Amino acid sequence: MVTMHDWVESESAKRLRNWDCAARWQVLQQTITWAEQQATVRRNTPAACVREQHRKLAQWKEWEKDLLPTGS
């Protein structure tokens, strides 16, 4: 029995075989640009940068804590 997953796999593979590489690459680049403009994605704003920095600093502090020898 052909499942929905099989259908999607074979249809995606067929599209990939038949889509010109240059056109596909252009579409991928445009997708990233479009996604970057969406409210949930926006990274290139002061607020987003501060938020991301905060998240990375917190990660770094956790990582540093793990590096400290136990009992010190």
Chain-centroid distance, C-alpha 31: 12
Q: 12 to each of 25, 27, 69, how far by Cα in Å?
A: 16, 16, 50
Tokens in use for 45? 């704003």
Hey, which residues between 3 and 62 contact another protein (CB under 8 A)? Answer: 4-5, 7-8, 11-12, 14-15, 17-19, 23-24, 27-28, 30-31, 34-35, 37-41
Provide, rounded to whole angstroms, the least separation between the CB of residue 4 and another protein: 5
Q: Which stretch binds another protein (CB under 8 A): 1-9, 51-59, 60-68?
A: 1-9
Q: 66 to each of 3, 55, 56, 62, 72, how far by Cα in Å?
A: 46, 17, 15, 6, 12
Instruction: List contacts with another protein (CB under 8 A).
Output: 4-5, 7-8, 11-12, 14-15, 17-19, 23-24, 27-28, 30-31, 34-35, 37-41
